[in-house]
A and B are shown apart, each in its own frame.
Chain A
Amino acid sequence: MIATLLSPRFLRNALPALSLTVLLLAIFQLQPRTMSYFGLNLLLNLALPIAFATIAQMCIITVNDLDLGIGSYVGLVAAIGATWLNETPLLGVAALLGCILIYAALGALIHLRNLPSIVVTLGMSFVWLGMALLVLPTPGGTVPGWIRAIMTLKTPFLPFTIYAAVAVGVIVHFGLMRSAYGTVLRGAGGNPRSVARAGWSLLRTKVTMFALAGFFGMLSGLSLIGLTTSADANIALRYTLLSIAGVILGGGEFVGGRISPIGAVIGAMTLTLAASFLTFLRLPPDWQIGAQGGILIVVLAFRAVINRAEARR
């Protein structure tokens, strides 16, 4: 029993959950008010859009690419959600589907022309931002009532955010980690050649994963405006780097194929809590970014130690 608990494999999988628990306990200690339904809700509700963005980023990282445009994309979805989706729902839905199609097309373009995804998605980040500014030139707009209703749902025992985050993690976990096609999708990132030799279409896997990223990016934008009640084209620029950090913090790796959906959701939560933790500590703002980075480095250093222990055996 103790041997299993101390095995590097178990430790590596448990590390994200462990760091989240430690952080949560520290916050409860610092600010007991957070230990309530109301407190947990305020503490975690903004983590849900980040969790969605992180899952979107994870889809891209799965196929060994990186998305530097997800933040601006979430901003565009927010802009569409607070304008067209509210005033003319049909146009809004069509625009959102169009966005997902563009994402899928990006996957195809990157695969067919063998382009570096960093360049393509960085370029697209400006396109997304420009489109968001066209849709919503000045901050404002109104979120559709049903999105607001979902995001402010009063669920029993625990806040809605926690149920939603668990659901997303579990669903994506079964889709990518347990299903047969999920294995192919991961394989396409980890070892594309053998997957192609086995007769699977790499184009199809890329398009699928990019379309999924577009879908989760859309959920991120819609859940975000459900919380803020109105949009701003620049609302989510930070999500690009946060989502990458969330994936890595949650146990994913840049090499492609090595991912953990539940870990990614936990990673997004950890990042959000880290910021709150630093606020509760009353750390001066000038030090906060650095301290946030410090927390990241500590967690990743633990993982490096565990990986080394695993390699030694």
Chain B
Amino acid sequence: MSKVLTTAVLAVGLALPATAAIADTADKRIALSNNYAGNSWRQAMLKSWGKVGDQAVADGVIAAADAFTTAENQVTEQAAQIQNLILQGYDAIVINAASPDALNGAVKEACDAGITVVSFDGIVTEPCAWRIAVDFKQMGKDEVLYLSEKVPNGGALLEIRGLAGVFVDDEISAGIHEGVAETSGFEVVGSVHGDWAQDVSQKAVAGILPSLPEITAVVTQGGDGFGAAQAFKAAGRPIPLIIMGNRHDELTWWKEQKDASGYETMSVSIAPGVSTLAMWVAQQILDGQDIPKDLTVPFLRIDQDNLEENLANTEVGGVANVEYTLEDAQAVVNAAR
């Protein structure tokens, strides 16, 4: 009898904290304000939001998780959309913003109306909002740090950059060069712009290859690894270690090489499921948790041992994705504290 009682008490004790955390936000409604849905990354982002949001609603954690996308990628339209969401009485608005500054007026209106605003990926600078930003510089640096472990002696690097003049390209490249300066033995011997597209990268790499010495590794920004591999193959040169960017074609090629010759590399990018991270952060704030205003998106890194698993979960033509759980979000928050 006493044993049963203890078990029951224990069970209640274990269950209580969980339900207490849930009950506070059970009647809260969260909206996603998204500025653009025209590429595979954004489509995957919306799909993840829908999946995790519906589950959270079904579990009674929140009352609603509705996604709204503006028809055109325009600041004024998104500002109007945010104001409409305020009127619809949402408790939190999660934003992927069309402009870091020009939505601040609407965001301020939302904050003044007592609404929690969480921005991610395309963040807003209004101080009352939370920001979940991507540390692109660290992403570039991580690539070189991985290389320094893999090839301790160093060697010649070919850098494939993204679209010229875009902030993301500058950040990743700066990170790569910082990594090269901090480790020893590596030298960037060539640099081309691949515009984050396989065909452009293939052409650009094929163009610069004849003028280059033997390449130890190729550092990339995502969407360009497969094109680079094709260029090396076409030129009849030994295929170096090429860092991948989580695209389906890149992972497929890597898998083929791994099975054929034990080829080793790593792949890194941002998971579109970061929208679900933002949703949990919003839920945590609504729950009354004290969350730092600036958080960093964790990278989705694929290594030799978890390649198959990630490849199986990636849609053809898509990007490797991961959906965040409440626990993942709490880990990100704790890391920022």
Contacts and interface: CB of A to CB of B under 8 A. Distances in A.
Contacts of A46: 76, 79-80, 83
Given A228-B79, A231-B102, 11 more contacts: A34-B87, A46-B80, A138-B167, A140-B100, A227-B105, A228-B101, A229-B104, A235-B76, A279-B85, A285-B37, A292-B71
A276 B80 contact: yes
Interface string A137-150: 01111000000000
B138 interface: no
Interface string A257-301: 000000000000000100110011010011011001000000000
Leading 6 A-B pairs by shortest Cβ distance: A230-B101, A285-B69, A232-B102, A228-B105, A42-B83, A289-B71
Interface in B127-186: 167
A235 B72 contact: no
Interface string B232-275: 00000000000000000000000000000000000000000000
A282 to B, nearest CB: 8
B106 interface: yes
A224 interface: yes
Contacts of B68: 279, 285
Given A224-B76, A229-B105, A279-B81, A235 B99 contact: yes
Interface of A: 31, 33-34, 38-39, 42-43, 45-46, 49, 138-141, 224, 227-232, 234-239, 272, 275-276, 279-280, 282, 285-286, 288-289, 292
B37 A280 contact: no
A contact face: mostly helix, strand, loop, or mixed: helix
A231 B83 contact: no
B87 A236 contact: no
Given A232-B101, A279-B81, A39 B87 contact: yes
Contacts of B74: 234, 237-238
Contacts, number: 96
Contacts of A285: 37, 68-71
A43 B76 contact: no
A264 to B, nearest CB: 18
Interface residues on B, range: 35 or more
B99 A139 contact: yes
Interface string B76-99: 110111011111110000000001
Contacts of A49: 76
B59 to A, nearest CB: 22
Contacts of A228: 75, 79, 101-106
B315 interface: no
Contacts of A238: 72, 74, 76-77
Nearest to A47: B80
Nearest to B72: A238
A103 B83 CA distance: 33
B72 A289 contact: yes
Contacts of B75: 228, 232, 234-235
B301 interface: no
A227 B103 CA distance: 9
User: Among the interface residues B80, B103, B104, which one has the most CB atoms of the partner chain A within 10 A?
Assistant: B80
28 contacts: A33-B87, A34-B87, A42-B87, A43-B83, A43-B84, A139-B102, A227-B79, A228-B102, A228-B104, A228-B105, A229-B108, A229-B126, A232-B102, A235-B76, A235-B99, A236-B76, A237-B74, A272-B80, A276-B87, A279-B85, A279-B88, A280-B87, A280-B88, A285-B68, A285-B69, A288-B71, A289-B71, A289-B72
B294 interface: no
A190 B69 CA distance: 42
A43 B87 contact: yes
Nearest to B70: A285
B109 interface: yes
A280 B167 CA distance: 35
